[in-house]
A and B are shown apart, each in its own frame.
Chain A
């Protein structure tokens, strides 16, 4: 197509190739072109974090990245967070600790949290709250998001302990 650029990237482990307008945001590309509507768009000033995905393992607000900038990178969205039918620690923890209400901010919060607990497996309440500064949630008052992240740290530790692998649950509760 005229004025379109080709991109190739890996999304949730699958190779994807496409043609995009240069101005297309990654968030819109994921949602509209790939149908990955788990990534949400909550603002137009990069404040809310609902659109957070992992780009090459790092949490990035996908509304701040052009699809063409993501060319060649590996992206994980909330749809790709569970692996092999097993819920990710943050997906389990947020269900156990009621870390979501309307669920709109949740995909971004989960993606950020999945990175955070790996980087800071023993972060305390205050540090977790600081880490959430790029997130806006209108429903939970953050209390149970913070508790959920703390719980996810615990689950991560349990999972890393020898023989604890089998204790993991499926995605559905």
Chain B
């Protein structure tokens, strides 16, 4: 091997199939005799089901069967939740696969039609007659807690799903502080919208009892555990396949009723069944993200030292608890509300509330964007209150290099970093003094630009499992890897992680290429098939490379160690004297005699002359549990212009300096950051799910829900610093979510900075032109009233 591929911008191994149309997405599955399913969903946000009459539908040509909730009750277990935060008094309400007595959100499943074609199944939906008795509905979590609010579940009084507190007592600090700033912030509901809709296809083999379920999943093994439990199919008879998945962003973690129903029908009918949601269905039937109302308070000194921060959060859980839903506004949010700052006292109190809306679960960042937004916004408010530059306030409070490992007030141990260095690098890219001068000059011409900062840190790379247990996650958070060297010297790698766009078929091959000294072409990474790979926990929480890559590094090391033993025997030298370099084993200090990795592999399989006690074959597994989370960090800066006449915001520059440790493939890392930033900017400026008073989703399609487009963005300017994490063998930190976590507050702070001279000091996301314009008008009205 001449040049190392580790750390290089090598092209992705997944691309050749994807650019030629040969990906294997779930909806691409074609099977002989395939039937199609369609779901009838409640048009009401809250209603009693009085009766369902499916006879006409079942009589339609091409319709095979209609399933309803009352038929399945008792045959199919309810959908479970997999995160039970301790001491949160979580109300484990029943979530039936199809509603049988009551629907609790518009989109709640009521019946499933199975027919000979997609179109026939959809036609039949119209022929099912459901008698509903509409009930009052509530979509807002604060209103849902009022005494007169409609109640969703008998066993969750006041609609409170959970109540959880964490942190130190802050009352005394707040009482004594010179400066206290407070704000109530709404972090709007978002719709994940991966471009591939959710889909499931199931094939049952009556002879063997094996059920194969193709599903759009970020974590096929978690799906296997949950579907197995719900349907009573033992795990060794249930195979989940998620070969190519078209993005997830958290929305493909959960186990949904749909895939369970498809599997049930395939087994029941003995014929394969497929279902794919329409985009409109995705808007109501796939989990949503964010939706917090937060009261945040910061106590500090007049000279810029933050003393305490506290948060009271009302998180909308939707109508039922989604798979990871309860963990998002608690563990993934509350434990990091101090952000990247050295703040001695901090606390969080969280209410999770049931409402008549689509269940809420992880959405890229999951909890950490919410926490980051609060601290980054309140830091700016604090800066304004003490009339200090927002950069200077951050500089004075950022955790200093010598403080690592840093114990935050919630007991997290931040691994490593130089937060000030990232800040300085970003400021240099910006030329901060120059842009402030420009801002001044433009203001005099009645033009408004703003500069916004976000000096974030986040916790990711979820494991370790002991922590998972302690925080109520009903699973482990280790990862598995297996490296199998075939007799000819080519390698198959099996990972329990389940990448769906993040490119680990490439980065994982780079890890193995580096370890084994083989060319990238000789290595194939296999994922997303529970029959081919060992138990693993999947891809979310920016854990794949930190945890799955860690497992892989260990497995590859084990392969090399065994190969070394065999090589020593072949070279007739002691094992300690063997050196492995560039794919060859040779005696230390001498390259005259050597054996190649391929020669050793062949010997391992021939087993004609193995050292005593060495088993034939050359493969190794590792189950790796990290010692801690990883903590990527950095500084993001947004520069925006706001047109005071129209309220339109334009992103002029976007600078990001991130530190995710050493990078295995910088090209892929940059791609993750770009995409993350676009999603975070989406929240700041464009995206927002809106419900009307009847709890109907008003923004139910791409026509009403503004997805970021290419023309909304300038060129993204990236740089990085490199601080390895001591928490895993590769030193890497997760990077899948940093862009989203960092960018929303950077952009919002920039817009608020632009609007400051106009007297606007509070505004709810997304910053649409209409909203900004109205805020400017209102501020002018106030000014007019004063003069």
Contact = CB atoms under 8 A, between A and B. Distances in A.
Interface string A118-138: 000000011011101101111
B678 to A, nearest CB: 3
Contacts of A24: 119
A96 B710 contact: no
B21 A39 contact: yes
Contact of B247 (A21, A91, A102): A102
Interface stretch (A54-62, A67-75, A141-149, A156-164): A141-149
B20 A47 contact: no
A104 B702 contact: no
B21 to A, nearest CB: 2
Interface in B495-541: 500-503
Interface string A19-54: 001011000100110011111111111011010000
Contact of B711 (A37, A77, A107, A130): A130
Nearest to A79: B21
Interface string A79-92: 10110000100010
B713 A143 contact: yes
Interface string B641-667: 000000000000000000000000001
Given A103-B244, A132-B709, A110 B30 contact: no
B711 A91 contact: no
Among B18, B27, B249, B707, find the residue whose CB has the most chain A CB atoms closer than 10 A: B18
A102 B701 contact: no
A98 B247 contact: no
Among B14, B280, B501, find the residue whose CB has the most chain A CB atoms closer than 10 A: B501
A98 B670 contact: yes
B32 to A, nearest CB: 13
Contacts of A45: 279-280, 701-703
Nearest to B500: A102
A78 interface: yes
Contacts of B193: 138
Contact of B195 (A28, A98, A138): A138
B196 interface: yes
A37 B21 contact: yes
B715 interface: yes
A56 B278 CA distance: 28
B21 A102 contact: no
Contacts of A142: 674, 678, 708-710, 713
A23 B119 CA distance: 9
Contacts of A98: 12, 667-668, 670-671
B500 A144 contact: no
B364 to A, nearest CB: 9
Interface residues of B, number: 57
Q: Main SS of the interface on chain B?
A: loop
A39 B670 CA distance: 27
Among A138, A145, A172, find the residue whose CB has the most chain B CB atoms closer than 10 A: A138
Nearest to A146: B710
A150 to B, nearest CB: 11
B678 A136 contact: no
B598 to A, nearest CB: 23
A36 B21 contact: yes
Given A102-B194, A132-B709, A47 B21 contact: no
Contacts of A23: 119
Contact of B709 (A43, A107, A136): A136
Given A96-B11, A129-B711, A132-B709, A141 B676 contact: yes
A16 interface: no
Nearest to A134: B709
A104 B30 contact: no
A79 B716 contact: no
B229 interface: no
Contacts of A145: 710
A64 to B, nearest CB: 14
Contacts of A139: 195, 247, 501, 671, 675
Nearest to B19: A91
A106 interface: yes
Contacts of B196: 40, 42, 102, 104
B119 A21 contact: yes
A105 B739 CA distance: 21
B699 to A, nearest CB: 12
A81 B246 contact: no
Among B14, B20, B21, B675, find the residue whose CB has the most chain A CB atoms closer than 10 A: B21
A40 B26 CA distance: 11
A142 B280 CA distance: 24
Contacts, number: 186
A1 to B, nearest CB: 12
B124 to A, nearest CB: 15
A80 B503 CA distance: 25
B667 to A, nearest CB: 5
Nearest to A46: B702
Contacts of B668: 98
Given A106-B19, A140-B675, A143-B716, A95 B702 contact: no
Contact of A144 (B18, B246, B671, B676): B671
Nearest to A93: B19
A138 B21 contact: no
Contacts of A173: 11, 13, 15-16
Nearest to A23: B119
B125 interface: no
B11 A95 contact: yes
B679 interface: yes
Nearest to B9: A98
Contacts of B401: none
A100 interface: yes
A101 interface: yes
Nearest to A12: B21
B20 A79 contact: yes
A128 B713 CA distance: 12
B675 A101 contact: yes
A116 interface: no
A124 B671 CA distance: 21
Nearest to B711: A129
A104 B713 contact: no
Contacts of B671: 98, 101, 139-140, 144
B324 interface: no
A162 to B, nearest CB: 27
B463 interface: no
Contacts of B701: 43-45, 47
Contacts of B18: 100, 103, 106
Contacts of A144: 670-671, 674
Given A98-B668, A103-B246, A104-B194, A38 B675 contact: no
A136 B245 contact: no
Contact of B710 (A100, A107, A135, A172): A135
23 contacts: A37-B25, A38-B20, A38-B21, A39-B21, A41-B27, A43-B279, A45-B701, A47-B707, A50-B195, A81-B21, A98-B671, A103-B15, A104-B25, A107-B21, A129-B711, A133-B709, A133-B711, A138-B193, A138-B679, A141-B708, A142-B713, A144-B674, A145-B710
Interface of A: 21, 23-24, 28, 31-32, 35-45, 47-48, 50, 77-79, 81-82, 87, 91, 94-96, 98, 100-107, 110, 125-126, 128-130, 132-133, 135-146, 171-173
Closest 5 CB pairs of A and B: A38-B21, A104-B246, A102-B501, A141-B678, A103-B18
Given A39-B21, A43-B701, A44-B701, 13 more contacts: A31-B27, A44-B279, A98-B671, A102-B247, A103-B15, A103-B23, A103-B246, A130-B711, A132-B710, A140-B671, A141-B677, A141-B679, A173-B16
Interface of B: 11-16, 18-23, 25, 27-28, 30, 118-119, 193-197, 244-247, 249, 278-280, 500-503, 667-668, 670-671, 674-679, 701-703, 707-711, 713, 715-716, 739
